Amino acid sequence: MIDGDATIFARATGSGRAAIAVIRISGASSGHILKRLAGDVPAPRRAVVRALHASAHGGDLLDRALVLWFPGPGSYTGEDSAELHLHAGPAVIEAVSDALVALGARPAEPGEFTRRAFSNGRLDLLEAEGIADLIEAETQSQRRQALRQADGALSRLYHGWAERLRYLLAHQEALIDFPDEDLPPEIEAGLVSDLGRLLDDMLAHLAQGEQAQRIRSGLVVAVVGPPNVGKSSLVNRLAGRDAAMVSEWAGTTRDAIEVRLMLGGVPVTLVDTAGLRETLDPLEAEGVRRARLHASHADLVIEVAAGTLPADAGTSRLQVWNKVDLAQAPAGWIGVSAKTGDGIDRLEAELIREVVRLTDTGVAPPMTRARHRAGIDEAVGHLQAAQQLALPELRGEASRLAMQALGRLTGAIGVEDLLDSVFGQFCIGK
C-alpha cells in the first residue's frame, strides 16, 4: 500500500548519457530536505545554483546543481515540491538519491506524482490519462489529441453533460415534490425533450470514439489478394525496406507479416498476408484462414491483383492493380508497379487520404479509451431507460444513475478501484 503522506522523489529525465538529470521531490518534508541539502530554500520558481551536501553541517559535496522550489498548492502535485537539476553522471545521481533517502524521502512509485496531483484536485482522471498519452505520443496526431485531453477538453464536455443532467434533475424534483400542483404539461414534455437531446449528443460522441482510439493505438491495414500478385513486394515498397520475403513461388507467405510505418501523422501497421486460394497444403490453408481473419478485423483492406481481374473482387476501399509495367490497370483500380515504383506516390496519397478519413475526430473532443466508452455506454443506457419511464420518480432515478456514470469518468465519484490501473501505466517520475 502506497504511503500518501511520505515525501517522494524520482528522476524525471531519461536514463543514459546526458548533460543534465532532473530529480523531482514532492511532499510535506520537501522544504526541510531541500534546506538540509542546499543550505536554504530559494525563492519560489526561481532557479538558483547551490552546492548540495550530504548533510547541513559541511558533509560530503555531492554536486553543484540548479535548484527550484515550488511551494504547494501551486505545484504539479499540489504539495510542496522541488527540482534538482544535477550533472547526469551515474555516481552523482546515486549519491544524491542516497542523501534523499537518508533525509527521509522514498523513491516514488510509477505515476505517483500524477496520482497526488489528482488526489489534491490539480487535475481530474481524464486529464491524468491525457498526460499518460502525451508521454507515450509517437506522432503529431497523438500529441495533439493527448494535449487536448490533458488540457481538459474531454473533462469540460463530460462536466457539461453532468450539469445538464443536474439541471434536468432539479426540474424533475419539482414534478415529484408538487404532484398536486396544477403544473403545465409543457414542463414535463420539455424535460423529456431535453433528455432526448442530451442522449443524442452522447450517442454522437460514441459514434466518434473509434477514430480517436485509432489515433491512439494506430490503424491496421491488411494487404490481401491471390498468390504471386506482388503483395509482399508492395509492402516492402511502401515500407521502404525489405520487410517481407519475396519469391516467385506461390505460397511463400504463409503467416501474416506486420510492418509499422507512419502515414498522415498516424501509426499504421501493414499486414502482409498469405495468398488467397484453395489449397490442400495444411500449412498454406492455415495461412489463408489467417489472411481472411486479418482482413475481417482490419481498419482498411488493400486488395491487390495483377494480370487477371479476380472473379470475386471485393468492395475494399482501396483496390490496387500491381505490375502495370506488364498490363494496364482496369477502371477503378490504382495502377502501380512494386518493381519499378510507378504509381506508388498515388497509392501513398490515397492511403493517407483514407487514414485521415478514418481518424477524423471533428471539432468535439473525442473519447480515447475503452473505459470512456464503457462509462458513456452506461450513461446512455440509463437515459434510454429514463425515456421509457412515465413516473417522474423513476425517470429521476435513472437520470441520477447516468450522472454517476459520468462522475466516475472524471474521477468525481466512486473510482478508487480504477486508480491503481490508471496511474500504474505512468513511468517513474511522473
In the sheet with 334-335, reading across from the earlier edge strand, the strands are 257-263, 266-272, 219-224, 300-305, 318-321, 334-335
Is residue 230 part of an annotated ligand binding site?
A: yes
Is residue 27 part of an annotated ligand binding site?
A: no
Give the rounded distance of the alpha carbon of 396 from its chain centre: 34
Asked whether the CA dihedral 347, 351, 357, 363 is positive or negative, the reply is negative
Is residue 296 part of an annotated ligand binding site?
A: no
Is residue 120 part of an annotated ligand binding site?
A: no
- Taking alpha carbons only, the member of 108, 149, 126, 138 closest to residue 424 is 108
Is residue 30 part of an annotated ligand binding site?
A: no
Single-letter residue type at 195: L
Is residue 273 part of an annotated ligand binding site?
A: yes
C-alpha cell at 114: 500524477
Is residue 69 part of an annotated ligand binding site?
A: no
Which residue reads 523531482 in cell numbers?
24
Strands, DSSP E only, in 293-394?
300-305, 318-321, 334-335
- Taking alpha carbons only, the member of 412, 402, 404 closest to residue 126 is 412
Is residue 411 part of an annotated ligand binding site?
A: no
Is residue 333 part of an annotated ligand binding site?
A: no
Is residue 252 part of an annotated ligand binding site?
A: yes
Is residue 399 part of an annotated ligand binding site?
A: no
Is residue 83 part of an annotated ligand binding site?
A: yes
Is residue 275 part of an annotated ligand binding site?
A: yes
Is residue 232 part of an annotated ligand binding site?
A: yes
Length of the chain: 430
Is residue 408 part of an annotated ligand binding site?
A: no
Question: Going by C-beta distance under 8 Å and a sequence separation of 6 or more, which residues neighbour residue 3?
Answer: 106
CB 273 within 8 A of CB 231: yes
Is residue 272 part of an annotated ligand binding site?
A: yes
Single-letter residue type at 104: G
Rounded to an integer, what distance in angstroms lies between the CA atom of residue 302 and that of residue 317? Answer: 7
Rounded to an integer, what distance in angstroms lies between the CA atom of residue 194 and that of residue 55? Answer: 65
Is residue 7 part of an annotated ligand binding site?
A: no
| Cα separation of the two ends of the chain | 18
Rounded to an integer, what distance in angstroms lies between the CA atom of residue 190 and that of residue 165? Answer: 13
What are the C-alpha distances in Å from 199 to residues 142, 203, 384?
A: 28, 6, 7
Question: Going by C-beta distance under 8 Å and a sequence separation of 6 or more, which residues neighbour residue 418?
Answer: 125, 371, 408, 411
Instruction: Specify binding-site residues for Mg(2+).
Output: 232, 253
Residue ranges for the known binding site for GTP are 228-233, 247-253, 272-275
Give the residue numbers of the binding site for (6S)-5-formyl-5,6,7,8-tetrahydrofolate: 24, 83, 122, 430
Q: Which residues are annotated as a binding site?
A: 24, 83, 122, 228-233, 247-253, 272-275, 430
